[in-house]
Amino acid sequence: MNKHPETLISRNLEKLLVSYEQHRGTNFIDERRLPEAVIIHRVMEDLLEILFPGSSGKREITSENLPYVIGDMLNQVRCALKDQILLAYKHECKIISCREETCEFNADKAVETLLDSLSDIRTILKTDVKAFYEGDPAASSPEEVVISYPGLKAMAIHRIAHILYQLKVPLIPRIMSEISHSQTGIDIHPGAVIGDGLMIDHGTGVVIGETTVIGRNVKIYQGVTLGALSFPRNACGSLIRDQKRHPTIEDNVTIFAHATILGNITIGENSLVGSNVWLKEDVPKNTMVLSEQPKMTFRSVRKEKTDI
Amino acid sequence: MNKHPETLISRNLEKLLVSYEQHRGTNFIDERRLPEAVIIHRVMEDLLEILFPGSSGKREITSENLPYVIGDMLNQVRCALKDQILLAYKHECKIISCREETCEFNADKAVETLLDSLSDIRTILKTDVKAFYEGDPAASSPEEVVISYPGLKAMAIHRIAHILYQLKVPLIPRIMSEISHSQTGIDIHPGAVIGDGLMIDHGTGVVIGETTVIGRNVKIYQGVTLGALSFPRNACGSLIRDQKRHPTIEDNVTIFAHATILGNITIGENSLVGSNVWLKEDVPKNTMVLSEQPKMTFRSVRKEKTDI
Amino acid sequence: MNKHPETLISRNLEKLLVSYEQHRGTNFIDERRLPEAVIIHRVMEDLLEILFPGSSGKREITSENLPYVIGDMLNQVRCALKDQILLAYKHECKIISCREETCEFNADKAVETLLDSLSDIRTILKTDVKAFYEGDPAASSPEEVVISYPGLKAMAIHRIAHILYQLKVPLIPRIMSEISHSQTGIDIHPGAVIGDGLMIDHGTGVVIGETTVIGRNVKIYQGVTLGALSFPRNACGSLIRDQKRHPTIEDNVTIFAHATILGNITIGENSLVGSNVWLKEDVPKNTMVLSEQPKMTFRSVRKEKTDI
C-alpha cells in the first residue's frame, strides 16, 4: 500500500479517461456547461422570498424598503435564472442544434414569462395557505403554514417549475422539483396541472406523476400515489413518452393517507378516497370509496415478542 | 423580448406591490422580523453537539477542553436562541398585542427552561440510543447510532422542540420539527408526548400527530402513521384545534412498517401491531394484531411484462 | 428570570459535566476525533463529479482540462477521504485496540481500493442510467437522469459506500448511506449487494436492508421495503447481527409501489410483485404476484364530508 500516491492517482486517471471515452451520456465533456443545482436552489429561495416577503426572516421588510428589496431581488433572479436557463438551452443545442440567438431569445422569454406570472402565483398560493390552515387542526396560524409547512413549500416550487415546464425549458423544471422532493419528501413532476387550494398534509412519500390533472380545493395526505398503471410502448418496444397516463382528480376531492390511484382515470368531484385504498377505476362524483378492512386476528404475544 | 430589462422588473414590481396589498397573511411587511430557519438550524446543531459532545467530529473534545467548549456553546445557544424566540413572541404580539417586557420575560424563561432540561434530555436520549442498538441487528455500535441514525436525530430534536412547545413558544417548535422532518423524513409534531427508549427504525414516512401519547420502550418502523381519524368542527364549521385526536401507545408496544393507527384510541402495553395493519379501534394489552393477508394470485408473466 | 446569565450557564454546565460522566457511549470525549459528516459529504460530491464529469455544472469540463480537473479531484478525494477513514479506524481502536500503523495501513488500503474501483463503478452506473431512461416515460433524456434523479444518486452513493463496507471501514459507509437517505428518502444499507441496472423510481420510503441481494435489471418503485421478518437472538437474548435476514431478488424482477417483502426469501427471475403486496414466502421465477383487491364500498358522501 505504501506505493507513491502519484501512482495511485495517475493509474486511476488513465482508467477513468478511458471510461469517459467509452461511456458517453454519463459525462458532459466539451458540452457547454450544465445548469448548476446550487445556483437554481438560491434562485428558488429568492423567488420564495419574493412570493412571501419577510418569510425567510433574513431581513426585516417594511413599507419603506419593500419596493427596493423586492425590485433588487427581481433583478437578481432575472440575471441568475436567465444564465441557468440559457445553459440548459445551449446544452440541448448540443443535441438538437439550433441558432445561438434562439437560445438567447428562448431564455429571455422564459424568464419574462415567469416574472410576469409571479403575482398570479401569489394569488393561487394564498388559496393554498388557506386550504392548509382550514384543513389542519395542528396549524396554529396561516403564518405558521407559510413559514414551516413542507406541503406549501412544495406547492410554491411546483407552481414556479410548472411554468418553465410549459415553456419546454430543458432540465431546470425537473431540477427545481427534485430540490423540492429532497427537502419535503413530496415528489411532484413539474408537468402536473394543479388547481387552486391544494393541501398536501405531512406529504412524505406523496408522488404526483407528470400527466396528473388536479382540480380545485383537493386534499392529499402522506404517502398518496397518483401514478401510472402501465407504460405503453411503440412498435419498436420503446416507451411512448407524451401520453396521459396519470389520474384526473376533480374539485373538492380528498385522498387519505397511502391511497394509491393508478392510470388515466377520473375521481369525480367531492369524492373521498379512504386511507390505503388502491384504485385503478373511475370514481363517480360525491362518492366515498373505502376498502373493506381485511379481517384482523388478535392473539396473545407472550412468547412471540420478537416475531412479527 | 428585447425589451429593456427595467421594464420587465418595474412592471412586475408594480404588480407584486399591489398583490402584497391585497393578499395579506402571506407576507410579513411592517411586522417585526420573523425567526430565521437558518439560525434555528445552527442552534439545533449546537444543541446536538452539547447533547452528544464530539459527535459532529467538528473538533476534538478532551477532558481538558470539555468545560470550556461546552460552556462556550451553552452561551452561544443562549444568545442566538433567545433572539429567535424573542422574534417569535414579538411577531405574535402583532396579533395579540402585549407589553414588550412580557416578550423579553417569556423569551428568557423559555431559554432558561430549555437549558435547565438539557441534562435530563441527555438521560432520556441515552435510553433511546440503547433502544436503537438493541433493536436493530444492523447497528454495529451505539456510537454508529448516535452518529448516523436519522431516527435518533429526530428524537433528539423532538425532545428539544417539545419543551418549547409546552412553553407555548410560537413558530419555533414547528420550525425545529420541520428541520428534522426535512432531514429524516420523520414527521413528529412538537406536541407529541413521547416516553423513554423510543426506537424509530428507517423512519421515512413516519407521521406522529400533535396529540399522540407514546409510553416507554416503544418501537416504530418506517411509514407508520399515528394520525387523526376525523376533525370535529364547531357550530361555525371551523376546526376545533385543541382536542385529543391521535392515538395513545402504551409501554413496550411495537408497530411494524406502514401500519396506520388513527383516532384517539389506545394500544395496550406489550402489544404488537403488524405491518400494514389499519386500526381505528382500541387494542388490549399483550395482544398481537395482524391483518389477514389478502389472497394472492400467482400467474405467469410471459406477455404482460410491462403491465402491473 | 433576570438572573445573571453566568448563573444559568454555569449551573447547567455543571449538570452536563456530571451527565457526561454518568452516560458514556453518548459522548466522545478523550477519544480520537470522529469522522465529520460535512467533510464526507464534500468528498461524496467530488466523487459524484469524478463519476459524472461536468454533471454538477460547477465548472465546464473540456477535453483539454479533463485530465487536470479529474486528476486534481482524485488527489483531493484521496487526501480528505484518507483522513476521515483514518479517524474512523482510530476511533474503533479505542474499543478494539490495535497498532497505530495498522490504522494507517488500512486507511491507505481502503482509499486505494475505492479509487481503483471508480472506473468499474462508472461502467455499472451507466447501466443504471440506461435502466432509468428506458424505464421511466417521464425521463426526457439520460442527461436528465444523471442530473436530477434521486434514485440514480442513491445508487451512485451506495456503490461507493458498499466498497468501504466490504473493507469493514467503520462508521463511514453508514454515514454515506445516511447522507443519501436524507437527500433522497431512499434508505439502502451499505451492506446490500446490488447488481447492474437497478432502477429505483421516485424512491421516497424505499428501504433495502443490510443482507439484501439484488440481481441485474431490477426495478423498484416508491415505498418498497426489502426488510427482515424477525430478529433471531442468541441464548443471552441479544441480537445475532451477521445473518442473512433480508430478501434475495433475482434478475429482471419488478417490484411495484409500497410492496413489502420480508425475510430471507427469494423472488425468482423475471417475476413481478404488484403494488401493496405483502410477501414473506418465496416466489418462483416468471411469476406475477398480485394481492386480491379488498372489496371496496362506494357510498354517497353528502353528510360525512369531514369523516374519513
Percent of chain A with pLDDT over 70: 94
> % helix / strand / coil in chain C, to the nearest 5?
45, 15, 40
Q: Give the model's pLDDT for residue A92.
A: 85
Residue C18: closest CA among chain B residues belongs to which residue? B119
pLDDT at residue A151 tops 80 = yes
Please give the CATH topology (third level) of the domain spanning A31-186. Answer: serine acetyltransferase, domain 1 (1.10.3130)
Round the average pLDDT of chain C to a whole number and report it.
91
**CA nearest B85: which of B174, B189, B180, B172?**
B172
Q: What's the pLDDT tens digit per position in A41-57?
A: 999 999 999 999 999 98
Distance CA B53, CA C20 (A): 8
- Looking from the CA of C22 toward its CB, the CA atoms found within 13 Å total 15
Lowest mean pLDDT among B27-41, B231-245, B264-278, C11-25: B231-245
pLDDT at B297: 85
The answer to whether B288 and B272 have CB atoms below 8 angstroms apart is yes
**Contact call for B17 and A58, based on CB within 8 A:** no
pLDDT at C302: 67
Q: What is the pLDDT of residues C124-161, one digit of tens each?
A: 999 999 999 999 988 988 889 999 999 999 999 999 99
Residues of C in contact with B304 (CB under 8 A): 288
B182/B191 Cα distance (integer angstroms): 18
- Count interface pairs A-B at CB distance under 8 A: 232
| Of A2-6, A87-91, B298-302, C107-111, highest mean pLDDT | C107-111
pLDDT of residue C112: 96
User: Which of A134, A182, A202 has the highest number of chain B CBs within 10 A, making it the mutation to test binding with B?
Assistant: A202
The answer to whether C278 and B293 are in contact (CB under 8 A) is yes
The pLDDT tens digits for B68-121 are 999 999 999 999 999 999 999 988 886 666 677 889 999 999 999 999 999 999
Predicted confidence (pLDDT) at residue C1 exceeds the cutoff of 50: no
Residues of A in Cβ contact (< 8 Å) with B9: 71, 74-75, 78, 115
Residue C24 burial (CB < 10 Å; 0-12/13-18/19+)? exposed
Contact A301, B252 (CB under 8 A): no
The residue with cell 421465477 is C285
CATH topology of domain C205-292: UDP N-Acetylglucosamine Acyltransferase; domain 1 (2.160.10)
Model pLDDT, residue A5: 56
C contacts of A278 (beta carbons < 8 Å): 275-276, 293
pLDDT exceeds 70 at position C56:
yes
Q: Using the beta-carbon criterion (under 8 Å), do A275 and B258 form an inter-chain contact?
A: no
Whether residue C173 is predicted with pLDDT greater than 70 in this model: the reply is yes
Percent of chain B with pLDDT over 70: 94
Report, as an integer, the average pLDDT of C262-278. Answer: 95
Instruction: Report the candidate in C40, C68, C70 with the shortest Cα–Cα distance to residue C53.
Output: C70
Instruction: Evaluate whether B154 touches B188 at the Cβ level (below 8 Å).
Output: yes
Domain ranges of chain B: 31-186, 205-292
Cβ-nearest to B300 among C19, C260, C287: C287
* Cα distance between residue C222 and residue C226, in whole Å: 12
Which residues are CB-neighbours of B64 under 8 A, at least 6 positions away? none
CB burial of residue C196 (10 Å; 0-12, 13-18, 19+): middle
| pLDDT tens for each residue of A157-194 | 999 999 999 999 999 999 999 999 999 999 999 999 99
Asked if A78's CB is within 8 angstroms of B9's CB, the reply is: yes
Least confident of A41-50, C25-34, C277-286: C25-34
* Residue A4 in this model has a pLDDT that exceeds 70: no
Cα–Cα distance measured from residue A301 to residue B271, given in angstroms and rounded to the nearest whole number = 7
- Smallest Cβ–Cβ distance between B78 and the set C9, C262, C306 belongs to C9
Q: Among A108-122, A187-201, A249-263, C85-99, where is mean pLDDT lowest? A: C85-99
- B183 and C182 within 8 Å at the Cβ level: the answer is yes
| C-alpha span between A259 and C296 (Å, rounded) | 13
- The pLDDT, as a whole number, for residue B23 is 79
What's the pLDDT band for A6 if we cut at 50, 70, 90?
Answer: low
Question: Which chain C residues touch B53 with a CB distance below 8 Å?
Answer: 20, 27-29
Identify the band that residue B292 occupies on the pLDDT scale cut at 50, 70 and 90: confident
Q: Specify the DSSP class assigned to residue C174.
A: H
The residue assigned the cell 431559554 is B111
Q: Which of C147, C73, C111, C106 is nearest to A16 (CA)?
A: C73
Asked if residue B308 has pLDDT above 60, the reply is no
Q: Which residues contact B106 (CB under 8 A, 6 or more apart)?
A: B85, B89, B167, B169
The segment with the largest mean pLDDT, out of A96-105, B4-13, B128-137, is B128-137
C-alpha dihedral, B259 to B260 to B263 to B267, nearest 10°: 0
**Using the beta-carbon criterion (under 8 Å), do B17 and A108 form an inter-chain contact?**
no
Comparing A257 with C1, the larger pLDDT belongs to A257
The strand pair at C287-291 and B296-300 is best described as antiparallel
How large is the C-alpha radius of gyration of chain A? Answer: 24
Residue B208 has pLDDT above 60, yes or no: yes
Counted across chains B and C, CB pairs separated by less than 8 A come out at 232
Which residues from chain B sit within 8 angstroms of residue A66, using beta carbons? 17, 20, 29
> Taking CA atoms, what residue in B is nearest to C190?
B138
Give residue C240's pLDDT: 76
Asked if the Cβ–Cβ distance from B37 to A50 is below 8 Å, we say no
Q: Of A108-112, B299-303, C296-300, which gets the smallest average pLDDT?
A: B299-303
For B47, other C-beta atoms within 10 Å of its C-beta total: 22
Q: What is the pLDDT of residues A240-284, one digit of tens each?
A: 777 899 999 999 999 999 999 999 999 999 999 999 999 999 999
Question: According to the model, what pLDDT value does residue A24 have?
Answer: 75
Asked if the Cβ–Cβ distance from C1 to B109 is below 8 Å, we say yes
How far does the CA of residue A259 sit from the closest CA of chain B (Å)? 12
Q: Given an 8 Å threshold on Cβ–Cβ distance, is A138 in contact with B238?
A: no
Q: Determine the pLDDT at residue C27.
A: 79
Output the pLDDT for position A308. 43
CB burial of residue C88 (10 Å; 0-12, 13-18, 19+): buried
Rg of the Cα atoms in chain B = 24
- Is the pLDDT at A1 greater than 70? The verdict is no
Q: What would the grid cell of residue B237 be?
A: 364549521
Quick check: B25 and A129 CB within 8 A? yes
The pLDDT of residue C307 is above 60: no
Residue A139 gets which letter from DSSP? -
- Provide the residue count of chain B: 308
Q: SS3 letters for B141-160?
A: CHHHHHHHCHHHHHHHHHHH
The overall average pLDDT reported for chain B is 91
- Over the Cα atoms of chain C, what is R_g? 24
